[in-house]
Chain A
Amino acid sequence: MVVHLFGTKTPGNLFTFNCNDGYLEAIVRGFRSGILSASDYNNLVQCDNLEDMKLHLSQTDYGDFLANEAGPIHTTTIQERCTDKLVNEFNNIRNQAVEPLSTFLDYITYGYMIDNIILLITGTLHERDTVELLEKCHPLGTFKSMASLSVANNVSDLYNNVLIDTPLAPYIQGALSEEDLDEMNIEIIRNTLYKAYLEDFYRYCQALGGETETYMCEILAFEADRRAINITINSFGTDLSKDDREKLYPALGHLYPAGSARLAKADDVDQVTRIVSEYGQYRGIFNEVAANQEKSLEDAFYEHEVKLNRTGFDTQFGYALFYSYTKLREQEVRNIVWIAECISQGMKSKVNHYIPIF
């Protein structure tokens, strides 16, 4: 029963967790009960147009979030407002968090930051307008030196003035140099950064220990495996060599190291299926995809991710639920946008292909 009074570096155990993080955990559990349920989705699916959807959503936790929108609603508006709600809740929690929860929440945002940085690099290379670029960035992944973006005219300015000031600087400096940013394929840059980020996050969760480690390491292991499988499948038919491909696999997960080594040598999707099906956790995913023609591998991965994130709420006194809540809300936004698109384009037959969460 050790009590860390000052400079806590690990989340408290059974008796000391609530001192620093109990209030925020309870608030996130309150948010969780606002995630749309099966009956809400039933109502949404039966809507005829987006105005109906707006009416049904106003009776859920979303409330009058579309009330100030002028004119007819578009699906992009719905997506932006839903994301705004998630961002507001996340920032609410982030502003009240103390160490080590604040570092954990920062790690959650780094994933979005990587997407934003790739967007900025691509935009700068093609000389787009900076204001336009900033509008397209994901709000959860903003960083302070974004304001100095307009100063950067070419990629080397971007690297020296903007990117080095971000929290992702260690990942960038470790893996990429100025020349790489200009020459390397943008997707390879994205995957290199994401690999470094995942490994760092995994190490941090292991250092936190306790309940956090138990649930987060499981979730992150699946994330790493999913990326490895996607990289492999997407690289068939491109000129990415097998060595380069192997360098992009994160050094964690159930598939690492034996499965990753075999994946690196795979040549087609059947081989990949055979390799991955040997791992019990993933056999079900590929079987489902084979059995169901309408379900893509991506959908099956999303379903598995939702299943793992649901377990994040299973115990008290851990940080996994903060990560799980963010991801589940994101999935909910994807679901709502999918339903909205199906309704607005008149493809009601596909409207049931959202991923149920609770």
Chain B
Amino acid sequence: MATPNSTIEWGIDFTHYDPRAYFLATIDPVAWAALGCYIAMGLSGVGAAWGFSIIGSSLMGAAVKAPRIRSRNLVSIIFCEAVAIFGIIVALMTSTKIGSNTSTAYNTGFYAMTYSSGYKLFWSGVVTGGCGLFSGLCVGVVGSGCALADAQNPVLFVKVLIVEIFGSAISMFGLIVSIVFTTKAQIGAS
């Protein structure tokens, strides 16, 4: 691999590590951050959509013989939607951080901060996306059970809804961790 002429060429700092040994360090931090933004929204969206599809078919079938369950079981759908909303919150926060001051990002003083921000934004996206995927699935499965139970016996609706609330809380935990990460990240001068 060709070596650069000066120590700081290609925007990469070779005084601290040899890029031939640390390939991952040659990936631009903004690339990491943008990938994190996608994963946050993308995986949360997959989880929410999967949850919708699981609930929707059961709800439609159960409502044929018990039409009274139609309106109040839409609450399950709202819990699934919350998962997707958490994803978009994190994605928007990440993209705001990326867009600020990239001109000063590779200056000597802000260099370390830029790199560490890139990693922070990537992994905050993975946390939200991962939590959102499984939370959406959980809310979906429980919501379908809730619709079927409600159709048989109206008393069961509130009981099963409590299980769903806990399922939805998982993606909220992911959101909280991501927010803590994202607020600490900073690309370039503030």
Contacts and interface: CB of A to CB of B under 8 A. Distances in A.
Interface string B23-41: 0000000000000000000
Interface in A9-63: 14-15, 18-19, 22-27, 29-31, 33-34
A316 interface: yes
Contact of A30 (B54, B66, B144): B66
Given A15-B137, A23-B60, A31 B54 contact: no
B126 interface: no
Interface in B49-74: 50, 53-54, 57-62, 64-66
Interface string A174-218: 000000000000000000000000000000000000000000000
A29 B53 contact: no
B65 A18 contact: no
A34 B65 contact: yes
Given A29-B151, A30-B151, A22 B50 contact: no
Contacts of A18: 53-54, 57-58, 144
B91 interface: no
A27 B50 contact: no
A30 B61 CA distance: 8
Contact of B65 (A22, A25, A31): A31
Nearest to A17: B54
Contact of A26 (B53, B57, B137, B141): B57
B60 A14 contact: no
Contacts of B137: 15
A15 B50 contact: yes
Contacts of A14: 141
Contacts of A26: 57-62, 64, 147-148, 151
B57 A19 contact: yes
Given A30-B151, A31-B65, A22 B141 contact: no
B108 to A, nearest CB: 47
B145 interface: yes
Interface in B125-155: 137, 140-141, 144-145, 147-148, 151-152
A316 B143 CA distance: 12
Given A15-B137, A19-B53, A22-B144, A30 B58 contact: no
A90 B25 CA distance: 63
A23 B57 contact: yes
A302 to B, nearest CB: 25
Contacts of B61: 22-27, 29-30
A14 to B, nearest CB: 6
B62 A29 contact: yes
Given A14-B141, A15-B141, A22-B144, A30 B57 contact: no
Contacts of B65: 27, 30-31, 33-34
B158 to A, nearest CB: 19
Contacts of A22: 54, 57-58, 61, 144
Contacts of B57: 18-19, 22-23, 26
Contacts of A15: 50, 54, 137, 140-141
A23 B54 CA distance: 10
A158 B141 CA distance: 51
B64 A316 contact: no
A25 B58 CA distance: 8
Contacts of A25: 58, 61
A25 B65 CA distance: 12
Nearest to B54: A18
Nearest to B152: A33
Nearest to B60: A23
Interface in A131-173: none
B66 A316 contact: no
A214 B66 CA distance: 29
A33 B151 contact: yes
Contacts of B53: 18-19
Interface string B77-115: 000000000000000000000000000000000000000
A43 B132 CA distance: 52
Interface of A: 14-15, 18-19, 22-27, 29-31, 33-34, 316
8 contacts: A18-B53, A23-B60, A26-B58, A26-B64, A26-B147, A29-B62, A33-B151, A316-B144
Given A23-B57, A26-B57, A33-B66, 8 more contacts: A18-B54, A18-B58, A18-B144, A19-B53, A23-B58, A26-B151, A27-B65, A316-B148
